[in-house]
Structure 1
């Protein structure tokens, strides 16, 4: 299945911050890093990434967990969640801490940007990776950070429910960039418990620089705005955001 879903994508390895992961690359134009949700690069994650490619971007998808191209299922999802919770690259429970994988993602973004050029890069994270684009905003080249249903750290208790998965220094850098005009796009279903109170924290910390897209939930399972419970208008908003921030105005 992975061969069909990822046909035309160039697979390679990238190493930084003592972490090595496979990546899948396709397209041309400014760089956008598409970071998958649990359980992995599913067919719908790959389909969303194809839409970003078709919009005129160089897309790189890191393979952080799971089997690329494999369709989601309950056993597969549980296995991936377990791996995310125990792997040292991710901090799914710690307060006020930046996940080590974000340093790797920042290095990946710099590497791709050096190759393709342009004004800067964009990134979208989903679910457990939903806040990763926020951490990548520490670097000035990150011009279009998108947070889709950010769910780390796991919202167990009030403090974790509002935590942004950032160290104090990284949070200060993100706030400074927001004050200097870098906008952040966030998407969620209003009934999604995994997001916790993070949108309230983002509003408090980033002010008008935080653009919230909040969709009414039709059922308790509504979670994946861009993939499994796809909202077409939200996908269009993300693509427009990348256009606005990364492409020269004519």
Structure 2
């Protein structure tokens, strides 16, 4: 038990835990399932039970989900004190570029390597990449790896000090735009209307960069879970995590519909033919 409202941490016993080496950098990755690979990156402040719930949904939809440990305590509910400390450490880490002018976070090179390995292991037409919050934009820069064919950006929050900015270098932005033109890459994204960390201006910046390839979907604030974990309640303070902390697991609910749209998008892009025709609109 780790929170003031009695939530229990997740022991992650139904995933395999392995160390993945990409160019000499080793990180822990939790994997489960079979089928084409989907890399699910954690949201701040770590691989919470809500992130793992999403991972299990991806696994049960017919994919090999791989969840890399990038920060925080794996399986722990995000508390105010612990989560704030994780954010502080990440903001000064050499692996991340949390503020405007920093360009692309270096950790995305490692994530692209993970995607390459996952594609080689799991096969299929490519790999899905799902970013959440702090890692939201990483799914886009992972698309510089040709194996990544289904990027999903959930409430991308970087740079923290520029609500209209995108966490990406100019060169990488040009390369992503070239890939959109060359390969027909599509990018799915979600945010809540009143999210103070992922604003309408940020989605407008993505639209300007990617054009019609960017499918940005906005949910009303009224659809957010009103009882999220303490970190989201007291630190994030606004509707934010569409398919994790602020999801409402009820049939027909807008946030659950967003989850289903993401799973349909992955199925469509990662089917053996490359496009299954499965509607995800």
- Displacement of 1:94 in angstroms is 3.9
- Displacement of 1:170 in angstroms is 1.0
- Displacement of 1:161 in angstroms is 2.2
Q: After superposition, where does 1:51-200 map in structure 2 within 5 Å?
A: 51-95=57-101, 97-154=103-160, 156=161, 160-180=162-182, 181-196=184-199, 197-200=201-204
Provide the C-alpha distance between the structure 2 equivalents of 1:36 and 1:81, rounded to a whole number of angstroms. Answer: 13
Pick from 246, 268, 278 the counterpart of residue 229 of structure 1. Answer: 246
With normalisation by structure 2, the TM-score equals 0.83
| RMSD over aligned Cα atoms | 1.7
Q: Residues 3 and 221 from structure 1, CA distance in 2 versus in 1: closer, same or farther, beyond 3 angstroms?
A: closer
Q: Decide whether the 8 Å contact of 2:196 with 2:238 is kept in 1.
A: no
Q: Decide whether the 8 Å contact of 1:13 with 1:23 is kept in 2.
A: yes
- Displacement of 1:19 in angstroms is 3.0
Are 2:48 and 1:48 aligned? no
Aligned length: 246
Q: For residues 30-80 of structure 1, what are the alpha-carbon distances to aligned partners after superposition, in whole Å with 9 as ceiling and x for unaligned?
A: 000000101111001001000000000011000011111111111121011
Structure 2 runs not aligned, ≥5 long: 2-7, 225-236, 248-254
Provide the C-alpha distance between the structure 2 equivalents of 1:161 and 1:22, rounded to a whole number of angstroms. Answer: 31
Provide the C-alpha distance between the structure 1 equivalents of 2:71 and 2:64, rounded to a whole number of angstroms. Answer: 22
SS at the partner of 2:45?
coil
Q: Decide whether the 8 Å contact of 1:95 with 1:163 is kept in 2.
A: no
Provide the C-alpha distance between the structure 1 equivalents of 2:242 and 2:79, rounded to a whole number of angstroms. Answer: 18
Q: Residues 107 and 73 from structure 1, CA distance in 2 versus in 1: closer, same or farther, beyond 3 angstroms?
A: same
Provide the C-alpha distance between the structure 1 equivalents of 2:210 and 2:194, rounded to a whole number of angstroms. Answer: 23
The runs of 4+ residues in structure 1 deviating greater than 3 Å are: 1-5
- Work out which of the two has the higher radius of gyration on C-alpha atoms and give 1 or 2: 2
